[in-house]
Amino acid sequence: MKHTVSVLVANESGVLARVASLFSRRGFNIESLSVGKTDKEDISRITIVVEGDDRVLEQLTKQLNKLIVVHKISDLTQESVVSRGLALIKVKATATTRSEIMQIVDIFRGKIVDVAADSIMVEITGNEDKVNAIEELLRPFGIKELVRTGKIAMARGKK
2-78 and 82-155 in the same fold: yes
**Angle of the 15-25 helix axis to the 54-66 helix axis, nearest 10:** 140
Q: Which CATH class is domain 2-78?
A: alpha beta
Prediction pTM value: 0.83
The predicted-structure confidence for 63-107, as pLDDT tens digits, reads as follows 899 999 999 999 998 889 999 999 999 999 999 999 999 999 999
Pairwise pLDDT comparison (27 vs 14), residue with the higher score: 14
The predicted-structure confidence for 92-146, as pLDDT tens digits, reads as follows 999 999 999 999 999 999 999 999 999 999 999 999 999 999 999 999 999 999 9
| HSE-up of residue 54 (Cα within 13 Å, Cβ side) | 1
Q: Which residues contact 87 (CB under 8 A, 6 or more apart)?
A: 122, 123, 124, 125, 131, 134, 135, 146, 147, 148, 149
CATH 3.30.70.1150 fits 82-155, yes or no: yes
Domain spans, the chain: 2-78, 82-155
- Residue pair 11/158 in contact (Cβ under 8 Å)? The answer is no
